[in-house]
Structure 1
């Protein structure tokens, strides 16, 4: 199953799983083609928890995460409104791209993890506080199998 992390923009490349601890994806410009495709062997996803960290100066609705499969490309979409509220929509444009440029993400993203069940609030709090959390069983930022299409940069993570 291919998971699409719809973000924005480096020439298409494929890699074996990489440890991205202390790294981040940077999406430098608005586009309707650039994205990072996250790959997993996990097939049965009746429930999910997705945790990630992102920073953007965008003041418009933008896409943060999209889940798609070859059989159902409208599985799950996570967007953020201009006011900062998250929208959980169960649709997106297509399985292999076809993104809306005006909803593209510009900014930095790191620590993307995904589990095949719903987290309890205390588990989410542990993630937010960068404490230990339940072992990842779908997408693991510290062993991520991904493909970058167009221009998405991998840079050192910015910390405060």
Structure 2
């Protein structure tokens, strides 16, 4: 019969976490070496980079949106670098409610970049992600269904995808993992490995000039869903926050 004993150290860690700060989750991974991860909210990642050093089924960063993600349009931007081979599927952004993958962004096994809104996805052939940082943005709006990726300030062809659709609120956003159920069902072979920074999101479509300005590091309106400089986030597992030098 499997043992679910939690080591004294784990109990002490839980008590420390719950008595020291307000936390939204305690993530527990039960294995032969019981591990408890305390997700401590932190604020702001200006001039910082998230490093996911190797694949796991437990390391992720949970992002807490500044407003409910009931979306009929959005722009999502990030800077990303990875040395994972092109045939390895990688989750770049995952937003899931209790029953649906509301908004997932992937690099597929064939190297294409895709995103999914509660069902079948749409696929784009972009310059490959590599060890050198790529500025990646995604825009979509419900009225027309027009969707596009932007790589280093250059737009892909438009595709029409799910006109009339709405992204539903009250879910969880993760970087580094794809939850197959709400905060669960994580798979190492889909995890992100590499560096990620400047994750920003707006509830409208940024203009070409604004996306290009963001790519070059110029000032643009702060993301009203996620703003990297004031982002509220929670770390779990083996994720490092390092200076962006």
Do the structures match in fold with TM over 0.5? yes
| Rg comparison, structure with higher value | 2
Q: Aligned ranges for residues 1-160 of structure 1 at < 5 Å? A: 11-18=37-44, 20-43=45-68, 44-59=70-85, 60-70=88-98, 72-81=99-108, 84-90=111-117, 93-158=180-245
In structure 2, stretches of 5+ residues that fail to align are 1-23, 25-36, 119-177
Paired residues of 1:33 and 1:98 also in contact (CA < 8 A): no
Question: Cα distance, 1:95 vs. partner?
Answer: 2.2
Paired residues of 2:66 and 2:226 also in contact (CA < 8 A): no
Q: How many residues align?
A: 148
After superposition, the Cα gap between the structure-2 partners of 1:125 and 1:84, relative to the gap in structure 1 and judged at 3 Å, is farther
- TM-score when scaled to structure 2? 0.55
Report which structure shows greater RCO (CA 8 Å, sep ≥6).
1
Question: Cα distance, 1:141 vs. partner?
Answer: 0.6
- TM-score when scaled to structure 1? 0.81
Q: CA RMSD in A?
A: 2.2
Question: Cα distance, 1:41 vs. partner?
Answer: 4.1
In structure 1, stretches of 5+ residues that fail to align are 3-10
